[in-house]
Copies of this chain bind each other. A is one copy, B any other.
């Protein structure tokens, strides 16, 4: 039993050489579309496009989050087609399977090893917060 995973993807991200308009052709928007299409095959992963994850220098940026787990932010996704989407969803599956969200280093895809931007612990529980 794994918990549902939220997969954030910045739909505003664009590579430096890309024009700003049309916005739906930016790398981020294209990856968001590819992920949404591929997610039909990935129950338990909810793809949530986001206006900005504030990592504009490392397009495209994504994030994994789930209740009680570490949140991870990754950047540098230069490929935005169906194959890239499948690889990202497979990684989201690894995240879903990890009780604390920490995918063991040896099992981590290279894109996650090289692309990590930040990680944030799960919020303390009320009991911990009261300590």
> Which residues does A use to contact B, with CB under 8 Å?
4, 6, 8, 46, 48, 50, 52-55, 61, 63, 65-67, 71-73, 116-121, 123-124, 129
Contact = CB atoms under 8 A, between A and B. Distances in A.
25 contacts: A4-B129, A6-B129, A8-B121, A46-B124, A46-B129, A48-B121, A48-B124, A53-B118, A53-B119, A53-B120, A54-B72, A54-B116, A54-B119, A55-B117, A65-B120, A65-B123, A66-B123, A67-B123, A71-B120, A73-B73, A73-B118, A73-B120, A117-B117, A117-B118, A120-B120
A68 to B, nearest CB: 10
Contacts of A8: 120-121
* Copies of this chain, count: 2
Task: Across the A-B interface, give the 7 residue pairs with the lowest CB-CB distance, nearest first.
Answer: A73-B118, A54-B119, A118-B118, A54-B116, A55-B118, A117-B118, A63-B120
